Amino acid sequence: MKKSQLFHAAVYIRLSREDGDKEESDSVGNQRKLLMEYVSKMENLILYDTYVDDGYTGTSFDRPGFKRMIADIEEGRINCIIVKDLSRFGRDYIETGRYLERVFPELGVRFISVSDGIDSIRQAYDMLLPIKNIFNEQYARDISKKIQATVKSKQKAGEFIGAFTSYGYKKSPSDKNRLVVDEYAAEVVRKVFRLYVGGMGKLGIAKLLNSEGILCPSEYKMANGENYKNCNRLESTSYWTYSTINVMLKNEMYRGNMVQGKKHQQMRSRQRLVEREDWIIVKGTHEPIIDPETWEKAQRLLKQKHRDMSLEENRNIFAGFVKCGDCGRAMAKSSWKRADGGRTYSFHCGTYKRHGKGYCTPHTLPLHVLEDIVLEDLRAVIHNIQDLRELVKSQSFHYPDTEEIAGKELVRVKGELERVQKLKKSAYEDYKEGLISKEEFRTYREDYLKKEELYTKQAEALEEKKKEGAVQDVFETPWLKRLLELKDIENLDREIIVEMIDQILVYENCKIKICYNFAHF
């Protein structure tokens, strides 16, 4: 870059009160004023746009303003970024360093941090820059720990600290840490408990509420102006479901007890569920919606009601894999008795089966048709791969670097491990929704646990082989070896489905899409 060059500049501003930022000195307005004055004094800077992330932490770069700025850089609209200081750009020193030392130089982007006196056009980054980034990250970690300690202290004191209340409650206008009853929603909650204690099933209650036009909890909150999003539901689900009723009947908040701390998240890590014994429960913090007698009756019924289905009659080798191609719900298996005494099985869209044609269509697919389609398609895949053994051997000739080979195979094995864990979770969700029996769930869970153990051992072995440089057998990838074994396949079983298939999407008129695991490699 030359000093006489004109730069199309992006002014980037970030503020996060969760970071412990000083509102007075680092407010969006003050940052904007300082940076605009800087741009006006620099003759070779032309302001292209201002990008603001107000309320976003610096420990993650998943911010809308930042991503929009990067998109404009990649489109060639911007070749200069100006920030107040490095902490406004980011507090993750590894990612910050990657952008400043690799990404921006490769894209020809000038970087200016006004308060730090950094301008990449005038001098290379000094040795103190990574240290400053480390201090920024450490500051964020320290603030994060203090915030978590404060939050836990408030939770133990029975104060509500969540963004959204349980359906049936709202935050007190005078004290956001105290809950008061939302009478309209509370009456719906009481109705749910009355119906359940009176003998109606969870699915029946969901259908009744839908038929009466009562908004489900997420839709009700959004209708009341709350920026609410339920991350556990499918995007197209905007109605009462079996799962919603099931969760509601177990929610101890309706007894007047504050239940918090059910999830935990460390900085830059995913949320994880906390064991029930570690939840923070404080009794008698707010007005109960459900009286003690009704609550105890409902809990006794929840423990008594379960489905004892025959494993042999209901075993489904496709459980957890077959989804409706339109709404995304798991397909439910149904059966009926034939005249000859046998039984016929078919799949139907879970949404349609539970809630009717107003929410999705049947997507009916006989089980034997699905088995025939998958079996024939898998045979075709095997047939189209010529000389499989030579293909396996030939892979080794394309990768002279054994460490690189082991690394790639390790990534693949870890991907398989994540996939199996996802399938295990999917099977549990199908069990919760009543789409598979308890015995089926136990069987599939055992399958997945075995595969988790297998892939974990493979990953450990590959780590060792990377160190030793001995990877001659890595080229015989599991799916290729498995295809070799299946050359004369006659019947499908659960093991084949788990190993070969990622998911099966079913559309109307028996049109299906089979997504294979090996298609990703």
pLDDT 10s digits, 145-157: 666 777 777 878 8
Helix (H, G, I), strand (E, B) or coil at 275: coil
Position 147, amino acid: I
Q: What is the chain's alpha carbon radius of gyration, rounded to the nearest angstrom?
A: 29
The predicted pLDDT at position 467 comes to 60
Q: Please tell me the distance from the alpha carbon of residue 431 to that of residue 414, in angstroms, as a whole number.
A: 26
- Chain mean pLDDT for the chain: 77
Beta bridge partners, 368, equal none
Neighbours of 231 (CB within 10 A): 5
Helix (H, G, I), strand (E, B) or coil at 156: helix
Q: Please tell me the distance from the alpha carbon of residue 265 to that of residue 383, in angstroms, as a whole number.
A: 48
Neighbours of 351 (CB within 10 A): 27
Model pTM score:
0.40
* 118-173 pLDDT, tens digit each: 888 887 655 455 555 556 666 666 666 666 777 777 878 888 888 788 899 999 99
Q: Which residues contact 138 (CB under 8 A, 6 or more apart)?
A: none
Q: Please tell me the distance from the alpha carbon of residue 155 to that of residue 274, in angstroms, as a whole number.
A: 15
> Above pLDDT 70, what percent of the chain?
74
pLDDT at 334 over 90: no
Give the orientation angle of helix 202-211 with respect to helix 183-197, to 10 degrees.
140
What letter would DSSP give residue 330?
A: B
* 27-52 pLDDT, tens digit each: 788 889 899 999 999 989 999 999 99
Position 191, amino acid: K
Pairing of strands 258-260, 280-282: antiparallel
Q: Please tell me the distance from the alpha carbon of residue 310 to that of residue 320, in angstroms, as a whole number.
A: 18
pLDDT at 453 over 90: no
Neighbours of 316 (CB within 10 A): 22
Helix (H, G, I), strand (E, B) or coil at 260: strand
Q: How far apart are the first and last CA of the chain?
A: 41
